[in-house]
Amino acid sequence: MTPLAQCVSVTRAFGPAVAVDHVDLAVSPGEVVGLLGANGAGKTTLIRMLLGLLRASAGQVRLFGQPPSRQTRRRIGYVPQGLGLYDDLTVAENLAFAREVFGGDGADRYGLPAALRPFAQVAVGALPLGVARRAAFTQALAHHPDLLILDEPTSGVDPLARARLWETIQDAAEAGAGVIVTTHYMEEAEECTRLVVMAAGRVVAEGTAAGIVGERRTVVVDAGDWAAAVGLIEAAGLRAILSGTSLRVPGAAPATVRRILVGAALPARVHEEPVTLEERFFQLAQAGADPSSPDRTGAGAAP
């Protein structure tokens, strides 16, 4: 089966700076592929190449088996971080504009969902962010695209609105569309069929959330004086994260943490638990800046 979207060793350089470095990516119908990475990892540059807004410096980009073009873009639904709506037009006017651009074949196809109908005649610039994002989704889906490209689609909205938008994403995938979505929310990342983690322009891990986490474990500290424990651990050059009343120290060895606390005569229980996806993501992002790290390519075998 020909992938809906495919990148083969794609590179994009801006002068001496390489924003995307030999990235491979493929998206099939019904897949929700989560593209993860810190700011500057290369996610948005990769998306712009998929949309045909930027040319690749090297490698190949294919949409529906051919190079990006006006024809392939007609089969894409795109929600950028900035929503892609005209603030001075109403919701209904934005949809009417999209209908003309994509050559809609009837008003019903571009009809407003019930939740948006009260806002049909409201200018987008006056809408709450959650409602505006739902309008952007409606516009992106109105022409029944084969591929959805969503760049931080739920940023800044409340948890309930995020859940509703993710229902829309899953419905589109179940109907056969492929989806590429960037997100900073790890609970959303776990909703994806497959994850691609980028750091410093390269893919540093790919697979399911469970596969990327694997059997890795992290150190957990239970101390009566957690503030003192944080100070001691961070003074030793490690990172301590407060989780409830416990501290998590990703990337450290239990013996090292025990030695730090025992040396300061601080009573504490030190044990291990499975790493979270968020902890693994930060490990990979940090390792991506180090070319010698074993975690820099592939899912990574290092703990």
The confidence score (pLDDT) of residue 156 equals 77
Lowest mean pLDDT across 47-51, 98-102, 129-133, 234-238: 98-102
The confidence score (pLDDT) of residue 227 equals 87
What is the C-alpha to C-alpha distance for residues 129 and 84, in angstroms, rounded to an integer? 13
The confidence score (pLDDT) of residue 45 equals 93
As a whole number, mean pLDDT of residues 124-144 equals: 87
Locate the DSSP E strands across the chain: 5-14, 17-27, 32-36, 58-63, 76-79, 147-151, 178-182, 194-199, 202-207, 217-223, 241-243, 246-249, 268-274
CB 141 within 8 A of CB 172: yes
Is a pLDDT exceeding 50 seen at residue 37?
yes
Look at the chain and count its residues. 303
Q: Higher-confidence residue: 202 or 2?
A: 202
What is the C-alpha to C-alpha distance for residues 91 and 234, in angstroms, rounded to an integer? 50
The confidence score (pLDDT) of residue 80 equals 87
Alpha-carbon torsion angle 241, 243, 249, 251, nearest 10: -90
Q: Higher-confidence residue: 30 or 184?
A: 30
The confidence score (pLDDT) of residue 105 equals 53
DSSP reduced 3-state for 124: helix
Residue-wise pLDDT tens digits, 176-205:
999 999 988 888 888 899 999 998 899 998
With a pLDDT cut of 90, the percent of the chain lying above it is 34
Angle between helices 129-141 and 91-102 (to 10 degrees): 20
The confidence score (pLDDT) of residue 298 equals 46
As a whole number, mean pLDDT of residues 254-265 equals: 90
Residue-wise pLDDT tens digits, 198-221:
988 999 989 999 898 888 888 999
As a whole number, mean pLDDT of residues 135-164 equals: 86
Residue-wise pLDDT tens digits, 78-109:
988 888 888 999 998 888 888 777 765 544 44
The confidence score (pLDDT) of residue 108 equals 43
* pTM: predicted TM-score of the whole model, two decimal places: 0.81
Q: What are the structural domains of the chain?
A: 5-211 (3.40.50.300), 217-274 (3.30.70)
Q: Higher-confidence residue: 116 or 299?
A: 116
- CB-based contacts of 186, cutoff 8 Å, min separation 6: 276, 277, 278, 281
As a whole number, mean pLDDT of residues 50-57 equals: 91
Q: How confident is the model at residue 170 (pLDDT cuts 50, 70, 90)?
A: very high
